[in-house]
Amino acid sequence: MKLTAARPNAPTVVVIGESLIDIVTGQSGKHSIHPGGSPLNVAVGLARLEVPTELATRIGDDPNGEVINSHLADAGVTLQSGSRGAVRTSTSHASIGADGSATYDFDIGWDLREVHVEAPLAVHTGSLATILEPGASRIDEALRRLPEKTLISFDPNIRPSLAPPRETTRARVENFASLAHIVKMSEEDAAWLYPGTEPGALAERFASLGVLLFVLTRAERGCVIASNNTLRRLPAEPATVVDTVGAGDAFMSGLIYEAIRSGAANQLTGKAVEAELIDACAQTALRSAAITVSRAGANPPNRRDLAR
């Protein structure tokens, strides 16, 4: 099924958030440079799955900004007007451990100037863009202007080294969650935001905010999904892990893609969704993440990869 935009030349999905250059140090000590940032990765993942996607971000008119611009163009992502002109393009240094996990050190600014959301089918945001000011407040304003039928997804993707104190960050996360139909977070996010809270209690907390689909990713143990007052655990797909860079973002893009493709997005904005469609969304997301961890860097699958 070919996904099309709601009107000619309009994006099906607008992703709002940071773009940066990842400087990755592998286990051997060698460095490599990749475009990154959770929202950018989600946008690229959606475009590779043939979803017309636009990214509202902030990059500099510098060599790193040109790398990001070329990366987006190669994937088929449209860079939203107003996204250029930052003082510098943000960077992140990722170190890969012996188990393939990544730790990060950031040099990032988030001075988002403008956001254009002209009734796309879905809007996604999250990560540092919803924590750092002044951009976070501008995203909040943009989401509140959206029509009721626009699907909103949110992934907090917490970076504790850059986040405000836990209570402040939790309040900001819950504010954005209250605007969203779908919230996805990792176990690491949950452990930092809500120490000692079980998945069931966590799902109930987000349901009370109005979230219709809550997903907790659990790395090699798959994910927990909660909707319609039910909680289910789905196993991960088998994968040989090269590294985990971009795995959560590939999960997110797969989840949004399948929600649109299957019709679950329309049901979620209508405040009710069939369990079978939710499971299908989660299975596609798990497959997308498994493919991504099996290759180096944030390298999400295309439609052919998912079919295989």
Residue 243 and residue 297 in contact, taking contact as beta carbons nearer than 8 Å: yes
Residue 154 lies in a domain: yes
Please report whether residue 219 resides in a domain: yes
Side-chain half-sphere exposure of 64, counting CA atoms within 13 A:
23
Domain membership of residue 131 (yes or no) is: yes
User: Of 159 and 26, which is predicted with more confidence?
Assistant: 159
* CA pair distance 251, 38, nearest whole angstrom: 11
Mean pLDDT of 67-96: 91
Position 38, amino acid: S
Instruction: Examine residue 3 and state whether it is found in any structural domain, yes or no.
Output: no
pLDDT tens for 145-199 read: 999 999 999 999 998 988 999 999 999 999 999 999 999 999 999 999 999 999 9
Three state DSSP letters for 209-227: CCCCEEEEECHHHCEEEEE
pLDDT for res 4? 42
The string of DSSP codes covering 159-189 is -TTTS--HHHHHHHHHHHHTT-SEEEEEHHH
Indicate the Cα dihedral angle 136, 138, 141, 147, nearest 10°.
-100
Asked if the model's pLDDT at residue 127 lies above 90, the reply is yes
Q: Which of 52-61, 67-76, 102-111, 244-253 has the lowest mean pLDDT?
A: 102-111
* 305 located within any domain: no
CATH of the domain at 291: 3.40.1190.20
Would you say residue 32 lies in a domain?
A: yes
Please report the pLDDT score of residue 9 as a whole number: 65
Question: What is the average pLDDT value for the chain, to the nearest integer?
Answer: 91
Q: Work out how many domains the chain is built from and give that number.
A: 1
Q: Could you tell me the residue range of the domain that residue 53 belongs to?
A: 13-300
Determine the pLDDT at residue 96: 76
Tens digits of residue pLDDT in 261-289: 999 999 999 888 888 999 999 999 999 99
